[in-house]
């Protein structure tokens, strides 16, 4: 816990320039502190922090009703990155998701929990050519829109869509080949080199994983992409194959995005007792700039599971939100989500999520 | 009528300044088409030099005009793009604080590219070694 305290003090050291009228030449909010910069040699210290409050009302068909209040540090990390030449760069990110959380529930006594600090991302990027870059280390899976931008400060929503949950692991230790061809075609191909089953925070512990995404980019961040992947988990005795598509279109005052993924999974090695399932999930999101720094967001999504020897269900949700973005690196978000699940473990829930997030 | 004449006289004295985007002549193959790719750091080099895009500080008016008119990017989208890149470990273009610093950087660092008032470039002793990629007006 003392380690967490020192870590948070360091993060708040970053926050202190927020109160100054003028930032020094070395610091810009959202761009980190430039430790050294001369020609191609650059070293930057940065970080991010997100605080979140959630209150939810949960109702199952079996008449279990519960209300919970949850407050926590959703994600916090210090980043250190740099480049030695235009051909070699590196990044280290130390921190974690859910560093601290407190939950007050109608049915249970109050609980607090915390995740250990860890080296969440570390990699070197070697640029052989604009079209051929080699990334080695631990990195975010470059698939979809939400997964590569996992921190709250970079997103329009506090709530990860269902399509970004449990379809594939968020981070792997491995190698990635990526680049841009003909100015508008981007590709990423990756494979796992280290078994992640021992990594405590891995969303899905896996022993083998490979995949890729092909993107057509236009404008600044607009894109249309296709992806594919497959993984094996010895812990869960699962073998899964997935594929999908996503798009993001930036307009003058608004942004539209959508993701779709399909997964085919099977569990167990004995053919007579084998369990298999098919998951399909999608969402569409629309964000509109209503006035100066204020935005409204709207999202609908669904996740359907069709299982054999495994529960089948259909989960649908709708989210409406308000975002105040003081600048691109600092935002306040308030959202309401209604979720309904039919089939196995049916329930409905209503949630309110409020957050403050900043990129240093 | 007098007020109108006064207005006309006043506005006639406010003249838009011409800015030019410049790079060393030794770096060939740079044009308005790849200017955006260079400033987004999607293109890091060309055949014979490593490219170093330069920018003024965030609140600089000329920088806002450059980003909007030369790169065709709104300032809010420019910031959001660089937030995402920052999170990936890619640093935004190097910031210089003055015209003098911009000129010194471009003349001393091979591959450095930036923008300055045309008059400063023309009066510089280094202007023979510089090439103009494009030009724009301050308003």
CB pair distance less than 8 Å for A85 and B90: no
Overall CATH class of domain A2-359: mainly beta
CA angle B17, B22, B25 (to 5 degrees): 145
CA dist A259 and A274 (Å) reads 30
Q: Please check whether residue B89 is in contact with residue A148, taking contact to mean a CB–CB distance below 8 angstroms.
A: no
CA distance B29 to chain A (A): 16
Asked if residue B26 belongs to a domain, the reply is yes
CB pair distance less than 8 Å for B87 and A28: no
Neighbours of A145 (CB within 10 A): 21
* Terminal C-alpha separation, chain A: 23
- Residue A160 pLDDT > 60: yes
Six-digit token string for A129: 């050519």
Asked if residue B81 belongs to a domain, the reply is yes
Asked if residue B5 belongs to a domain, the reply is no
Strand order in the sheet with B18-24: B94-95, B52-55, B112-117, B18-24, B130-137
User: What is the reported pTM?
Assistant: 0.86
* Of residues A32, A127, A252, nearest to B44 (C-beta): A127
CB pair distance less than 8 Å for A149 and B77: no
Three-state SS letters, A244-274: EEEEEEECCCEEEEEEEEEEEEEECCCCCCC
Neighbours of B124 (CB within 10 A): 16
Measured in whole angstroms, the distance separating CA A269 from the mean position of its chain's CA atoms is 32
Q: B124 or A106, which is more confident?
A: B124
Asked if residue B3 belongs to a domain, the reply is no
Q: Domain-by-domain residue ranges, chain A?
A: 2-359
CB pair distance less than 8 Å for A83 and B73: no
pLDDT digits (tens, 9 = 90+) for B51-108: 889 999 888 888 999 998 899 888 888 888 998 898 888 888 988 889 999 999 999 8
pLDDT of res. A61? 65
CA dist B32 and B79 (Å) reads 21
- Residue B12 pLDDT > 60: no
Q: In terms of C-beta density within 10 A (0-12 exposed, 13-18 middle, 19 or more buried), how is residue A42 classed?
A: middle
- Containing structural domain, residue B78: 16-137
Q: Please check whether residue A220 is in contact with residue A250, taking contact to mean a CB–CB distance below 8 angstroms.
A: yes
Alpha-carbon distances of A339 from A88, A162, A310, A357, B120, rounded to whole Å: 45, 11, 22, 24, 62
Residues of chain B found within 8 Å of residue A122, distances taken between Cβ atoms: none
CB pair distance less than 8 Å for B89 and A183: no
The CATH number given to whatever domain includes residue B67 is 3.40.190.10
pLDDT digits (tens, 9 = 90+) for A13-69: 665 655 444 445 567 778 888 888 776 788 888 899 999 999 998 887 666 778 889
Residues of chain A found within 8 Å of residue B89, distances taken between Cβ atoms: 79, 81, 89-91, 125
pLDDT digits (tens, 9 = 90+) for A182-221: 878 999 999 998 776 555 556 677 888 999 999 999 988 8
Evaluate the CA torsion angle A9, A12, A14, A16 in order and state its sign.
Answer: negative
CA dist B136 and B99 (Å) reads 16
Q: Please check whether residue A147 is in contact with residue A244, taking contact to mean a CB–CB distance below 8 angstroms.
A: no
List A230's β-bridge partners, or say none: A210, A241
Residues of A with CB under 8 A from a CB of B: 25, 28, 30-32, 37, 39-40, 42, 44, 46, 48, 79, 81, 83, 85-86, 89-91, 125, 127, 130, 149, 151, 153-154, 180, 183, 220-221, 250, 252, 327-329, 359
* Of residues B78, B84, B97, nearest to A154 (C-beta): B84
pLDDT of res. B10? 52
pLDDT digits (tens, 9 = 90+) for A227-246: 999 998 887 788 899 999 99
Six-digit token string for A319: 């989210």
- A345 DSSP 8-state letter: T
For residue A243, the SS3 value is strand
Q: Name which of A360, A332, A334 is nearest A49 in CA terms.
A: A360
Looking at every residue in chain B, the average pLDDT score rounds to 84
**What is the ipTM metric for this complex?**
0.80
Asked if residue B7 belongs to a domain, the reply is no
CB pair distance less than 8 Å for A149 and B50: no
- Residue A296 pLDDT > 90: yes
pLDDT of res. A157? 94
Six-digit token string for A48: 């991010």
Total domain count, chain B = 1
List the single residue in B with minimal CA-CA distance to A32: B86
Q: Which residues of A221-233 are buried (b: 16+ CB within 10 A; e: fewer)?
A: bbbebebebbbeb
Interface test with A, best of B87, B90, B109 (most A CBs within 10 A): B87
Asked if residue B9 belongs to a domain, the reply is no
For residue A304, the SS3 value is strand
Residues of chain A found within 8 Å of residue B43, distances taken between Cβ atoms: 130
CA distance B135 to chain A (A): 22
């Amino acid at each position: 816990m003392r380690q967490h305290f020192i870590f948070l003090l360091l993060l708040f050291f970053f926050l202190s320039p927020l109160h100054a009228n003028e930032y020094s030449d070395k610091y810009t909010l959202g761009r980190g502190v430039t430790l050294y910069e001369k020609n191609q040699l650059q070293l930057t210290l940065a970080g991010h922090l997100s605080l979140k409050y959630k209150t939810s009302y949960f109702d199952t068909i079996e008449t279990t009703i519960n209300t919970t209040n949850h407050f926590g540090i959703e994600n916090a990390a210090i980043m250190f990155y740099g480049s030695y030449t235009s051909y070699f760069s590196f990044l280290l990110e130390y921190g974690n998701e859910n560093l601290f959380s407190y939950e007050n529930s109608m049915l249970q006594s109050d609980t607090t929990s915390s995740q250990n600090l860890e080296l969440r991302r570390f990699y070197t990027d070697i640029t052989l050519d604009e079209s051929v870059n080699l990334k080695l280390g631990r990195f975010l899976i470059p698939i979809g829109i939400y997964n590569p931008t996992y921190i709250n400060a970079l997103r329009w929503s506090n709530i990860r869509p269902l399509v970004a949950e449990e379809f594939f692991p968020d981070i792997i230790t491995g190698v990635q080949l990526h680049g841009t061809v003909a100015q508008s075609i981007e590709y990423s191909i990756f494979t796992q080199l280290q078994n992640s089953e021992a990594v405590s925070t891995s969303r899905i512990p896996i022993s083998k994983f490979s995949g890729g995404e092909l993107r057509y980019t236009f404008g600044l961040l607009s894109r249309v992409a296709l992806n594919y992947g497959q993984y094996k988990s010895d812990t869960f005795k699962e073998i899964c194959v997935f594929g999908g598509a996503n798009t993001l279109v930036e307009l003058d005052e608004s942004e539209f995005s959508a993701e779709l993924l399909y997964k085919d999974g099977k569990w167990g090695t004995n053919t007579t007792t084998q369990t298999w399932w098919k998951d399909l999930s999608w969402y569409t999101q629309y964000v509109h700039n209503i006035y100066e720094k204020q935005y409204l967001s709207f999202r609908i999504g669904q996740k359907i599971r069709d299982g054999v020897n495994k529960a089948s269900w259909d989960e649908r949700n709708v989210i409406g939100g308000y975002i105040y973005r003081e600048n691109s690196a600092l935002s306040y978000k308030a959202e309401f989500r209604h979720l309904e699940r039919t089939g196995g473990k049916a329930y409905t829930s209503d949630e309110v999520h409020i957050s403050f997030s900043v990129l240093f | 009528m007098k007020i109108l004449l006064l207005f006309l006289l006043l506005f006639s004295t406010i003249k838009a300044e011409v800015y030019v985007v410049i790079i060393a002549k030794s770096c060939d193959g740079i044009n308005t088409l790849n200017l955006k790719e260079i400033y987004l750091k999607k293109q890091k080099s060309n055949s014979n030099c490593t490219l170093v895009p330069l920018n003024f500080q965030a609140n600089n008016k000329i920088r806002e005009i450059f980003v909007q008119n030369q790169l065709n990017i709104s300032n809010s989208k420019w910031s959001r793009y660089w937030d995402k890149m920052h999170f990936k470990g890619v640093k935004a273009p190097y910031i210089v604080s003055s015209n003098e610093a911009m000129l010194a950087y471009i003349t001393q660092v091979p591959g450095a590219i930036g923008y300055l008032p045309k008059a400063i470039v023309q009066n510089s002793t280094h202007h023979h070694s510089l090439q103009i990629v494009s030009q724009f007006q301050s308003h």
